A and B are shown apart, each in its own frame.
Chain A
């Protein structure tokens, strides 16, 4: 029997028993669609986290005061003991490393911010001009902190879009004076609205020169030093340079923690990938259920088509041909179901994407291959038994009227 004839014969069976075909297509389709939709949710979550970290900066190396062993946690929640402060001079010394493109010292505090009669509490960041490029910030108007010696405490500030709106309404903001604590700052720039980015809402902050923040909070200690390496390959050299320089400056003590964005990212990436695989695997169970349904339906079909099988034997069909006929039928059904599932899964992914537009839902490539493949393999596996049963039917009994 020719290959094309096998396909055509199976195709006519599939078309001949519509209800049965529809049922199997539905079961297979749901299985495949579930795997694709669920894994695309997992993949979407992974991409979301990766993008969020990407927005934090590129080739970033973060220096924290204190020694901490938890290297894979979020930079915002790392709390180390501080035997010795990180100072502005420490930060400036890091410029010696050839692997470092730029760096920004960071002081974080909360301040009572007042403009005219309005007042509110806001996070105050002390940093330098380089912060804007390192953190990929954009300005809505004005300019950022001035370049020049970071030790100079110029009375200027940049504020978030939401804070500007709350304090000044629709009035022009640039050039206005802002009181933070007992000091006055002239507003030179307003940040573009960016929204939440890993725990920091940049729309509500005030950024002042680092020296001004030191005076404001009456501390020499830096909260972080954000360092940008020259390239991806330079991240590791930058990290070791930073550790060497700071150890030298701190009398040989390793009392800082240097973490790279990559290390943090890689950890999240691994966790979320594993999670996606796990939920995809759970959804794949529905494919196994679909396989069992195929087996049931096929077994019934063998019983219903007994006399047809007997006839085919009488016409000279070998047992192998009968077996192949049933297997081909199963493969056709599985392929149909898989196609249906791929389309439905993609549609479902689009719908979820509409509901939660922030998360980039997309089915990972392995799911697009594995789901249909699993469908076909289960269909074939679960059809082996019915097909064998059909092939072994005694032709005389199969032909006789029951």
Chain B
């Protein structure tokens, strides 16, 4: 359950204040599937970063699962991120020197989970995303679709309630993009909250709830 109240985010660019987000009020229920669309610079990614606790708002209040997370310390935000939120990025952001399995393992390593417990989870995730045969391959030996599957598996490693995807298909061809969306939607079908930022109207239209942002404000909120 995500609740944003009067969120403002202002960047200073060359002495000029740029309003990336203005007076955002948003409530996302558990298990919702949400797409966020809008032109470049409309604040889509900033909104996603605020929801993902990567960024702090200049004003407003953010409640995550009923807890006010607006003023948490850096460490507490890190912990909340680790346990509740999974990220999927346009450029995959895999660590190039690590194998697919090791990339998937990273969040569990950071969380201090015992190696024995990690092994079982990695094996299951590799199987879930059809990556068994690519486990020991490094990102430069994987296709774009495989990279994004590794990234999704990594996002799911800590079984977060919320998956945030920033242009997950932006770097993939249409067919592979559809496959990746299907995987993300399967997570949603299993009960997770899914928020997807995208340029692509076709991708955006797949969501049950569609936000439209312009100049840092939510201009449209369609359902059904």
Q: Point out the residues of chain B lying under 8 angstroms from A401, CB to CB.
A: 91
State how many residues of chain B have any CB contact under 8 Å with chain A.
30
What's the minimum C-beta distance from B116 to chain A, rounded to whole angstroms?
12
* Known contacts A314-B81, A319-B74, A395 near B54 by CB under 8 Å: yes
Please name the residue on chain A nearest to B107 by beta carbon: A315
- Asked if A307 contacts B93 (CB within 8 A), the reply is yes
What's the minimum C-beta distance from B168 to chain A, rounded to whole angstroms?
14
- Asked if A316 contacts B97 (CB within 8 A), the reply is no
- Asked if A399 contacts B93 (CB within 8 A), the reply is yes
- Asked if A320 contacts B93 (CB within 8 A), the reply is no
- Asked if A314 contacts B87 (CB within 8 A), the reply is yes
Query: B112 an interface residue at 8 Å Cβ cutoff?
Result: yes
Q: Point out the residues of chain A lying under 8 angstroms from B110, CB to CB.
A: 1, 312, 315-317, 321
What's the minimum C-beta distance from A22 to chain B, rounded to whole angstroms?
16
- Asked if A320 contacts B75 (CB within 8 A), the reply is yes
- The answer, among A12, A315, A317, for a CB contact under 8 Å with B87, is A315
- Asked if A314 contacts B52 (CB within 8 A), the reply is yes
Which residues B77-101 have CB closer than 8 A to chain A? 78-79, 81-83, 87, 89, 91, 93, 95-98
- Asked if B111 contacts A316 (CB within 8 A), the reply is yes
* Known contacts A12-B97, A308-B95, A319-B74, A314 near B109 by CB under 8 Å: no
Query: B181 an interface residue at 8 Å Cβ cutoff?
Result: no
Q: Give Cα A317–Cα B93 distance, bound, in whole angstroms.
A: 15
Q: Point out the residues of chain B lying under 8 angstroms from A96, CB to CB.
A: none
Query: A357 an interface residue at 8 Å Cβ cutoff?
Result: no
14 contacts between A and B (CB under 8 A): A1-B112, A2-B112, A2-B114, A9-B109, A12-B97, A15-B97, A313-B54, A314-B87, A315-B82, A315-B87, A316-B158, A317-B110, A320-B75, A399-B93
- 14 further A-B pairs in the complex, CB-CB below 8 A; given A315-B81, A396-B55: A1-B110, A5-B109, A13-B97, A310-B93, A312-B106, A314-B81, A314-B93, A315-B82, A315-B87, A315-B107, A316-B83, A396-B54, A399-B54, A399-B93
Q: Which residues of B contact A (CB under 8 A)?
A: 49, 52, 54-55, 74-75, 78-79, 81-83, 87, 89, 91, 93, 95-98, 102, 106-107, 109-112, 114-115, 154, 158
